[in-house]
Amino acid sequence: MGTCSKIVFTCKQSSFFKGCYICLMKYFLLLCFALSAPLCYPQSVEKLRSKVDGTNVTHTGEFIIEPPTLVCAGFEWDITGDENRNATVSSAFRKKGEQTWRTALPLLRIGGEKVYGHDQPWVYTTPDKFAGSIFHLEPGQEYECRFELKDPDGVQGRAGHEIVVKTKSEPKPYVGGKVYHVYPPGFTGKKESPAFTGLNEAYYGGGNTGDWWNVPEPRVVAGDVILIHAGRYKGNRLKYADSLALDFHGAYVLTQKGTPEKPITIKAAGDGEVIFDGDGAYRLFDVMAADYHYFEGLTIKNTDIAFYAGLKRVMGCSGLTVKNCKMEDIGIGVVTYSADSKDFYIADNVMIGRHDPDTLVGWYGLEKPAPLTSYYAIKVYGQSHVVCYNSISFFHDGICVDTHGLPEQGKPLCVSIDFYRNDIFNMADDFMEADGGVHNIRIFENRGFNAYHAALSAQPVFGGPVYFIRNICYNVPGTAMKYTIRPAGIFTYHNTFVTDVGINNFSNGHFRNNLFIGPDDKRPSLSGTTFTTYSTLDYNGYRKKGSDGMKYRWRYPTADSLNNMDEKRLTFYEFKTLKDFRKKTGFEAHGIELSGEVFVHVPLPDPARRGHIYPVAGYDFSLVSSSKAVDAGILLPNINDNYSGKAPDLGALELGQSLPHYGPRPR
């Protein structure tokens, strides 16, 4: 008979002397089992206790299907237990009718991470669950998706789900509704009937101006199309009884409701450029109360906000489409701060802000701070938004999730949002921000040139996952990743960063197949801080800098806690080489250092010219065939299955494959 470690009797419900019959019986059975065993080491007793207590057994709860987008689908699976975090959920999918299942990335285990608000008193603890996405689906298709949960300690409840999801189709105008024709003030040519002067007259009816434009019942209904004919639509908002009914506030306040199948369409008629001049108004199209409106082919200028689509704790619209529009001399392109907003499609637009186009503008005391003449091009909150193929330049921020604060009680969570194939140029702050997102925020295959503060931001994310995949980021004097307000749940896969590399203050983060190509300065090749022992870092490539100074700096928790948010208990290490970093920390077991040419043609930014603007033309981020980054990655199912060679390459572009198209697609 072997010896047994001490068993401590505890009960959360009552003291030992008052007695807890259930707990006494539980530990009596445990003691009998232990004494009858041939050997009973401490870890054996702990394992037995976990089976009785249920602390490591996974108990499954609700399985949540998030609203799909055009090309992705997101899922959540609530659990309890699994305190040792060794449960896993595998994912597979196939188009309905196909026989072969395709493997997707496993769902991410989240729960227990602490998220701190920026200068706020609250601390948010992420709930226990699995969450994750399936990528590269086709629009308007049904997919069978299969999920299987396994835990060596056991599973109580349903251990598998097989469900069907249908991706969204790209929004289109409805064919079959009434068609109304709009002409600018002073138009003298031939008009198609029914004809109206200005949008408000067509939308609301009448011919009324001044106070009277709001009197008629709205004319348009779901499925109707308003064709805007060529010309300049600029009211005199400070004139009473303005002919466009824009008196004083200067905004088109739209309130009718379309449907997904029958949107209300407002588009250029195709007979020349349609210019909506905001006359300096704060907002031009107020669509907070206008569900499923479709805008296409318009030029919008001279306004602070082009499309004002939602306000926190007030309301937000659903189904806003803004497509093939040009916005210039604006402060904000499209914005909603509302958790009630959903189903936006913002695609193929050109958005030009007011910042100096020839200078990389700084802020908060950085070099050459400037007035905030433009803020962000696009900011969204809510569910199932798609922002893709836009060209954005000269703003403070490019594309953002709203920095919303705590998820609102009783409101939909901010989930299932896609930013992809956007081309972003010259931002004073960041290219793209996931700040404020909760689950399944997907930022992939974008290109960003010249941002002063950070390339990618996630401060904070409330559990995640947020996916940063195959983005190209060039010339950011600040840092590659602004993960600074303790976001939780981040996948950073296959990105190419030609910038400083800092990854600070995150939890539950995982980095694979990235290229970190730092400039010739004294900053390290990598610096970062993680608050969780289960964050991982491997299969990444780093530019080898000079031999002087510490090149790798990393802080992480001691082994006595899976999730340690106390910065004083973090271990801090500095190393001159990647080999030393690997040996001491266990990170980057397969990481590599790179010297010589990596890309076909990518000159490094000059650290001495922090405000310099580098043009996109002429840069080729394809790998040279001799680079060590070729075949140096690891397989990530549903992300790089189509790799060529012995293994996936590092960075955003796979050698020999066609290059992505960024920005508006040819019409």
pLDDT per residue as tens digits for the range 605-647 = 988 887 889 999 999 999 999 999 999 999 999 999 999 999 9
Three-state secondary structure call for residue 569: helix
* Residue 580 burial (CB count, 10 A): 15
How does residue 210 score in pLDDT terms, banded at 50, 70 and 90?
A: low
Q: Is the pLDDT of residue 388 over 90?
A: yes
Model confidence over 53-97: pLDDT tens digits? 568 999 999 999 999 999 999 999 999 999 999 999 999 999 999
Q: Which pair of structure tokens corresponds to residue 211?
A: 């106070």
Residue of higher predicted confidence among 549 and 411: 411
Sign of CA dihedral 7, 11, 15, 17: negative
SS3 content of the chain, % helix, strand, coil (to 5): 5, 40, 55
Model confidence over 7-52: pLDDT tens digits? 333 333 333 333 444 443 444 433 343 333 333 333 333 444 444 4
The pLDDT of residue 363: 66
Fold of 59-166: Immunoglobulin-like (2.60.40)
Model confidence over 265-276: pLDDT tens digits? 999 999 999 999
Mean pLDDT, to the nearest integer, of 99-122?
A: 92
User: Which region among 67-76, 312-321, 577-586, 655-664 has the lowest average model confidence (pLDDT)?
Assistant: 577-586
Model confidence over 181-196: pLDDT tens digits? 999 999 999 999 999 9
Q: What is the DSSP letter of 238?
A: T
Q: How far apart are the first and last CA of the chain?
A: 80
The pLDDT of residue 14: 35
Who's near 613: CB < 8 A, 6+ residues apart? 357, 358, 359, 360, 426, 450
Three-state secondary structure call for residue 317: coil
CA torsion 637-642-646-650 (nearest 10°) is -70
Report H helices in 135-270. Answer: 199-204
Report H helices in 518-592. Answer: 578-585
Q: Where are the domains of the chain?
A: 1-53, 59-166
Task: Give dist(CA 146, CA 91) in Å, integer.
Answer: 6
Closest CA to 517 of 495, 487, 536: 495
How does residue 434 score in pLDDT terms, banded at 50, 70 and 90?
A: very high
Q: Is the pLDDT of residue 362 over 90?
A: no
Who's near 456: CB < 8 A, 6+ residues apart? 430, 431, 432, 433, 434, 443, 468, 471, 473, 480, 481, 482, 492, 495
Q: Is the pLDDT of residue 103 over 90?
A: yes
Three-state secondary structure call for residue 236: coil
Q: Which pair of structure tokens corresponds to residue 89?
A: 């959920």
